[in-house]
Structure 1
């Protein structure tokens, strides 16, 4: 799964997204204070089915210390979601 930085009008937002096998994943960087998204300090990962109007679900272990840790957790979640049975 390849994450790409989401670009937008606000430079202080740090977000990455990826899609695979009918699921959408988003990773955002949050801090308790300062610019950007507010929350627990770290990389928050979430997922949802692409073709259903459902809220995003946080990936267990979020927030992560690094972007790489968040990406690995998303890949593991995808493997769990597409596992047969």
Structure 2
């Protein structure tokens, strides 16, 4: 079966969707994704959930550990693991 230029698989669409959320997708990939979004309900739902997740993560005020805190936590973790 010949692979179509415009029609992509659901897995490929999900991958392009992830790339598009972080502005890493090319114009051609975005076009192929938009074609897929016109007819695939599964891809539409994935796209909406992915978009919502990205928005929530960007708007959150999550604080990450700085490298020194992370290293100290890893050392404590390894120390506790070595006890057992």
Choose 1 or 2 for highest CA Rg.
2
Higher helix share: 2
Q: TM-score, normalised by structure 1?
A: 0.34
Which structure carries more strand by proportion?
A: 1
